[in-house]
Amino acid sequence: MYQALVRKDSQFEGIFFAAIKTTGIFCRPSCRARKPKPENVEYFASVKEAMDHGYRPCKVCRPLQMKGHAPEWLQGLLREVRDNPEARIKDWQLESRGLNASRVRRWFQKHYGMTFQAYQRMLRLNQAFGQIKYGERVTEAAFQNGYDSLSGFGEAFKKNTGFAPSHSQDKTLITITRIETPLGPMLAGATEGGVCLLEFTDRRMLETQLERLKKYLKAELLPGDSPHFAGLNRQLQAYFAGCLMTFSLPLVLPGTDFQQQVWNALQAIPYGETRSYGQQAEAIGNPAAVRAVARANGDNRIAIIIPCHRVIGADGKLTGYGGGLWRKQRLLDLERGGELIG
């Protein structure tokens, strides 16, 4: 843990908090503050434990804030672009709002992998896609979303979606967004029919899952807002607060018949309980398919809601989990009545 602290290793976010005896503060593993001597550090599994021992939260890394949480100075801007996706806010306009344009750009690059200007373009294209798909003329959608020329709109649209605006009525769009949780940020995706993706952003298989979704649904991905995200956010918050045992969200689960069986069986595992892979194979009427069940578990694209974290080894030990075994343990602890963070 001390080596992780020295390296400022973000992979250990959520696993431990480091408390500095000489200053009386506690930090995230990735804190940028100057590192103390090893004998001056003690470690805690949660914010609550650190505070119970009299430590104060660090003002540099802010351990009381969820990882990936948008800082206060940025929240007004995020609300503005969310409420007015057709807006085109320039760097000089950011400065006039008291925001440093370079600072905004760096935050969006780190958390969304694109500049703020690119993020705005994606939101406008997302909105234009929906307008055209449901009957709006291409020309009207282009000008309503701030494009000065039809050719410029068509070029940008095709570059980001892979098809011309006029083909929108025959296509599916997966709207994606980041959702903050106590265990780190997650990437959520939704189509018109429901939620089709919920993965931790540091999952190694994430790119593969996105490509599979695009292939299965014959769809493209664009950042934006979906009517399903408000309910998803609300239910996730209730779940992490220990107030929700069963999710009630429309899901879109493209996959083979066998995968569908396995995912249905996962949703049948009661909150607070676990099953072995062998028991899951028996639950779908195919006791010899233990390895195939494990593979289908790994192919689950909707973490937590389809609770693959509730499947453990026959010996009771934790086995593979795309979000990391430490997250799997935290989720099981939460469902058994424990506290997650704070």
Span of 155-159, 218-222, 249-253, 272-276 with lowest mean pLDDT: 155-159
Residue that has been written with the tokens 């066998």 in this structure? 258
Q: Cα torsion at 197, 200, 203, 207 (round to 10°)?
A: 40
Judge whether 246 lies within some domain. no
Largest CA distance in the chain: 68
149 against 264, higher pLDDT: 264
- Clarify whether residues 231 and 283 are in a common domain: no
Q: Which among 239, 271, 297 is the end of a domain?
A: 239
Span 41-65, pLDDT tens digits: 999 877 777 877 778 888 888 776 6
pLDDT score for 4: 86
Q: Tokens for 36? A: 């103390």
Which range is least confidently modeled, 133-137, 320-324, 334-338? 133-137
| Of 244 and 170, more confident | 244
Tens of pLDDT along 161-210?
666 665 566 667 888 888 888 887 888 999 989 999 999 887 878 888 88
The region of weakest confidence among 141-150, 185-194, 229-238, 317-326 is 141-150
The answer on 78 and 150 residing in a single domain is yes
4 or 14, greater pLDDT:
4
The length of the chain is 342
On whether both 266 and 324 belong to a single domain, the answer is: yes
Mean pLDDT, the chain, rounded, equals 82
**41 in any annotated domain:** yes
CB atoms within 10 A of CB 110: 9
First to last CA, the chain: 20
Per-residue pLDDT tens digits for 128-165? 766 666 656 666 666 555 565 566 666 666 666 666 66
Q: Could you tell me the pLDDT band of residue 72, with boundaries at 50, 70 and 90?
A: confident
Alpha helices in 113-164 (DSSP H): 116-133, 138-144, 150-161
Helix (H, G, I), strand (E, B) or coil at 273: coil
4: DSSP letter: H
Whole-number pLDDT of residue 214: 87
263 pLDDT above the threshold of 90: yes
CATH of the domain at 119: 1.10.10.60
pLDDT-derived band at 342, boundaries 50, 70, 90: very low
pLDDT average, residue stretch 217-239: 87
Q: C-alpha angle 204/205/209, rounded to 5°?
A: 150
Whether residue 83 is found in the same domain as residue 139: yes
Q: How confident is the model at residue 247 (pLDDT cuts 50, 70, 90)?
A: very high
If asked whether residues 80 and 156 sit together in one domain, one would say yes
Of residues 27, 31, 61, 308, which has the active-site annotation?
A: 308
Residue 340 belongs to some domain of the structure: no
Q: What is the pLDDT of residue 46?
A: 74
Mean pLDDT computed over 89-116: 84
The answer as to whether 155 is a domain residue is: yes
Q: Could you confirm whether 27 is annotated as catalytic?
A: no
Examine the domain organization and report whether 224 and 256 are in the same domain. no
Q: Which of 175, 267, 257 is nearest to 221 (CA)?
A: 175
**pLDDT given for residue 337 in this prediction:** 83
Helix (H, G, I), strand (E, B) or coil at 318: coil
Query: Percent of the chain scored above 90 by pLDDT?
Result: 26
Q: Answer yes or no: do 30 and 87 share one domain.
A: no
Is there a domain that residue 185 lies in?
yes
Q: Are 208 and 257 a contacting pair, CB within 8 Å? A: no
Q: Are residues 141 and 102 located together in one domain of the fold?
A: yes
Task: Please check whether residues 85 and 116 belong to one and the same domain.
Answer: yes
Does the pLDDT at position 341 exceed 50?
no
Name the residue among 262, 318, 255, 323 with its Cα closest to residue 290: 262
Residue 310 has pLDDT above 90, yes or no: yes
Opening angle at CA 187, ends 185 and 191, nearest 5: 150
Which residue did the predictor score with more confidence, 245 or 50?
A: 245
Q: Is 178 in contact with 200 (CB distance < 8 Å)?
A: no
Whether residue 10 is predicted with pLDDT greater than 80 in this model: the reply is no
| pLDDT exceeds 50 at position 97 | yes
Phi/psi of residue 193, nearest 5 degrees: -80, -20
Residues 155, 79 share a domain: yes
DSSP SS3 for 69: coil
- The mean per-residue pLDDT over the stretch 10-37 comes to 83
| Domains held by the chain: number | 4
User: Do 141 and 82 lie in a common domain?
Assistant: yes
Enclosing domain of residue 272: 252-335
Asked whether residue 230 falls in the same domain as residue 309, the answer is no
Alpha carbons within 13 angstroms on the beta-carbon side of residue 57 total 11
